[in-house]
A and B are shown apart, each in its own frame.
Chain A
Amino acid sequence: MSGRTLKYLLITIGAIGVITVSCAVNKSPQSASANSQDKWQQQYPQLFNNAGYAAVESRAYESQLTMLKNMPESWHELAGPVTNPFGIRDDILEYTLDTFKDNPKALAAAIAYAQYDYWTSYAGDKQLARGYYQKMGIVGWCITYFSSFNTRLQYSRQEADLLRNTSARAKHERDVEVNYLSPGIYGFGNLTDKQLADKCEQGNY
Chain B
Amino acid sequence: MRKLILIGMLYFVNCLAFAQMSKIHVFHINGINVTRSETYANTEALRLNSKVDSNMVAWDFLYNQTHGLWDDLLDVFKQKTQEQRGKITLDDYVAAYLHHSDLDYLPGSTDYAIVKASIKDDYLNNPQFFGANFDDLLLQFHDKYSVE
Tell me the A residues contacting B by CB distance below 8 Å: 117, 120, 133, 136-137, 140-141, 144, 149, 152-153, 156-157, 159-160, 173-174, 177-178, 181-195
CB-CB < 8 A to A173: which residues of B? 35
CB–CB B37/A141 < 8 A: no
Least distance between A200 CB and chain B CB atoms (Å)? 13
Tell me the B residues contacting A by CB distance below 8 Å: 23, 28, 35-38, 40-41, 43-45, 47-48, 53-68, 133, 136-137, 140-141, 144
CB-CB < 8 A to A144: which residues of B? 44, 48
**Interface residue from A141, A157, A181, A191 paired with B36 (Cβ < 8 Å):** A181
Least distance between A173 CB and chain B CB atoms (Å)? 8
Least distance between B74 CB and chain A CB atoms (Å)? 15
CB-CB < 8 A to B140: which residues of A? 184-185
Least distance between B71 CB and chain A CB atoms (Å)? 10
Q: Choose among A193, A194, A195 the residue with the greatest number of B CB atoms under 10 Å from its CB.
A: A193
CB-CB < 8 A to A195: which residues of B? 55
Least distance between A177 CB and chain B CB atoms (Å)? 4
CB–CB B62/A190 < 8 A: no
Least distance between A58 CB and chain B CB atoms (Å)? 24
CB–CB A186/B61 < 8 A: yes
Q: How far is the CA of A188 from the CA of B47 in the complex (A)?
A: 10
Known A141-B44, A149-B44; judge A187-B61 contact (CB<8 A).
yes
Known A178-B65, A190-B55, A192-B54; judge A183-B38 contact (CB<8 A).
no
CB–CB B41/A140 < 8 A: yes
CB–CB A188/B60 < 8 A: yes
CB–CB A186/B38 < 8 A: no
CB–CB B55/A183 < 8 A: no
Q: List 5 A-B contacts (CB under 8 A).
A: A182-B64, A183-B65, A184-B62, A184-B140, A189-B58
CB–CB A185/B64 < 8 A: no
Least distance between B73 CB and chain A CB atoms (Å)? 16
CB–CB B67/A174 < 8 A: yes
CB–CB B37/A183 < 8 A: no
Q: How far is the CA of A166 from the CA of B28 in the complex (A)?
A: 29
**Interface residue from A177, A183, A187 paired with B137 (Cβ < 8 Å):** A183
Least distance between A27 CB and chain B CB atoms (Å)? 37
CB–CB B37/A187 < 8 A: no
Q: How far is the CA of A194 from the CA of B54 in the complex (A)?
A: 10
Known A137-B40, A140-B41, A152-B41; judge A185-B55 contact (CB<8 A).
no
CB-CB < 8 A to B141: which residues of A? 185
CB–CB B65/A177 < 8 A: yes
CB–CB B62/A185 < 8 A: yes
CB-CB < 8 A to B43: which residues of A? 137, 187-188
